[in-house]
Amino acid sequence: MAATKVMLSPNQILLKEGDHSSNMYWVQSGQLVVTKKRGLEEVVLGHIYSGELVGEISFLDEEPRSATVKAVTDCDLIQIPQEAIDGIFKTQPKWLEILVKTLAERLRKANARIKI
């Protein structure tokens, strides 16, 4: 499966906390905001800018999304499907896949320990 272009308008949600997904995104232009629910409020965790990836942790560990991501400005992104990384892993030593998944798991655990 090939990468596809995605365009977002301001306030349009790209990823929703708790959802399952098998894609990550490479931001070509624009700005996105990352938020997480804390009770009834949303806490801003950070911003994603042109040239960065978003959704990579769930893409790698196949767990639910840990945060919500929405566009602040008009955004152009490249959607990278799970099949793309699976194809890469098939051509590399097995330890590379284990390394990447271990790092994603450790990052998710570290993020969960951080109090917002």
Name the region of 22 (left: φ>0; alpha: ψ -120 to 50; beta: rest): alpha
Does residue 99 or residue 113 have the better pLDDT? 99
Please give the DSSP secondary-structure letter assigned to residue 82: H
The whole model's pTM is what? Answer: 0.84
Which tokens hold the place of 17? 């906390």
Band (108; pLDDT cuts 50, 70, 90) = confident
Maximum CA pair distance of the chain? 45
pLDDT (tens digit per residue) in 23-57: 999 999 999 999 998 888 989 999 999 999 999 98
pLDDT, position 1: 63
Structural domains for the chain:
4-113 (2.60.120.10)
